[in-house]
Structure 1
Amino acid sequence: MKKSVLGLTVAGVLLLGGYATTTFANDDTTSSTGTKVENFMKGFKGMMGFGHKGMDSEELLAQAKDLGIDTSGKDAETLMQEIQEALIKQEAKDLGIKATDKDIDTLAQAVQLANLQEEAKSFDVEADGKDVQTLRQEIRLAELQKEAKELGVTTDDKDAETLKQDIRQAELNKKAEELGITTDGKDLTTLTQEVYAATVNKEAKELGISVEGKEIKEIAQEVYKAKVKADAKEYNITIDGKTIQQIAEEVREQKIAKLAKDLGISTTDKSTQDIMSEIKEKDAAKLEELLGNGSFGMFGKGMDGSGHRGGGHGGGMHNGGEVQQGVSGTAASSGTGV
């Protein structure tokens, strides 16, 4: 399995930011198409504090050489720009999009539109005559409607924001019931905090971690580290000299590779993001289950201070490069989905 290029420099972000923030941005309000270009662009989040690794120059050089790009005398920013353009052209060719007389921005938009049109089919969303932004919004709404129905939440006349709130409330109510927590008269933030604290304490007890005299943040960090190390042992991953974040990333990659193997998907010469894209196409539910089974279950997806689901990277900044801040400043999880 080929490692992903997951971190870029500030200059690289400024240089290629047009694609990162407009053409290929992926946040909680839009649907990701999982393209090769998007997978490469995820590296921008690494240097901005949302990713898991810094840039490895060897990986960058390997990516360039794989695409037939001459690396001699070129710095990282130049290579990143050439890699991105090569990936856009490669994907356009795969999709049957003619690149003649199109500048790279126009070609990138055509690639993304084609991928969104394909994704729209899986949600029975009519794509004809719709631009990228409209399709993103309609696909996102269709995803939320599907999730809501699975939870028994009504979807009639509800926009995406309302559905997100209702889904979150339904998930919390279900989890609260499992933990024996009453929901009467509690707002979303209060219930989130109580469910989160109960979940962390429950897992600490199962792992034999003492909670006496400790704040929930400290307990969460201990639970997270214990679970990551246990997973590392299961997958024969050495931990010597590695940060907990590095170990968690290796565990995540191993879990994704194993799921791919179980589904008959080859991992040879593919980045983790490429493998995830193929898994999503073949069995999105299993990928969601794998990534959703984080250190604290439903909280592994990341939440902001209001208890709303975030963009998959937790609710705040990293804490010492190990555990992110989640509900109202408490430690949630690494956001690695392990």
Structure 2
Amino acid sequence: MGLTILQVGYPLAPVGPDTVGGAEQVLYHLDAGLVARGHRSLVVAPEGSRPAGDLVPVPAVSGSLDGPVRQQAQARHARAIERALDRYGIDLVHLHGIDAFSYLPPPGVPVLVTLHLPPSWYPAETWGQGRPDTWLVPVSEHQRRQCPDSPALLPPVLNGVPAKALSSPYGKRNLLAAMGRICPEKGFEHAVDAAKAAGKPLLLAGKLYAYGAHQDYFENVLTPRLDSRRRFIGPLGFLGKRHLLGMARALLVPSLCEETSSLSSMEALACGTPVIAFPNGALPEVVEHGVTGFIVPDAAAMADAIADLGHIDPEACRATARARFSLDAMVESYLATYRRILGREARTEAA
């Protein structure tokens, strides 16, 4: 019997085939996977989003994303969730935003919250809030180990990427890539420094959001390091991302935060492109040192590792992505989690 799932994205980020945020990519692919398997997926997201399922639209936001704008967006999200619950027979609400507890629905329907970001970034009430039938799922084993003890915590569901669609071969060029949200915790200045030290060109792709701290970082830390050979090219859609990752010699991931996963690393491996990453968070679970890339401590070691890329087999990278980071495995794991939650609810009602 098919399920009806209400997927709820972050209030300030659209969802679609060319979305750039990691949580939004997971939501989009999960939504498409549910629809392909005969389930009904409804998606609460800003106007202009393009899910495979049915869009429950909220007004899109422009300009600064700080303070009152974010609070207004959260209030609109809460109202949209309430309308969807009144109109449709929702089996489960699946929330993806870091601010999910700002718009939890009233008790009654089971809720699953995917923890896309480091556990320390979530409010304290995440781990002990009193709403019944509210569950938390991490996206990696490392993240699960970092989570506080909570009876709501479920086993991880590992992220997946469209490995087959990313595997189209491109001729490698003498350049490096870096990719992700442009913000201080991603540490892209270290990627630029490493590329300069290695004498290699670098293309940095990513979205710069209208948060004050992100824009300050871009203008005062990142931009002064860029030059004609190390360039920022802005956000890329799926085809552009596949092209960049496919032709790059390596993806540099100098993240300074406790990464819960790394979709860009998984995507690079699916393209046959090794990854050179700092050892933060779950990155050592994604990148196998000496096999699919290198785990290094700093920018100097990152520059040294660039010279060793010839030792990495592109086909080993693609095989790893197909075996470990498939979308099918992610979608099936979420479906098993949904059924586990709904089974618990049924047993509770029967008792």
Q: Give the TM-score range, shorter chain.
A: under 0.3
Bigger share in strand = 2
Task: Tell me the TM-score normalized by structure 1.
Answer: 0.24
Q: Given the two structures, how large is their TM-score scaled by the length of structure 2?
A: 0.24
Q: Which has the higher helix share?
A: 1
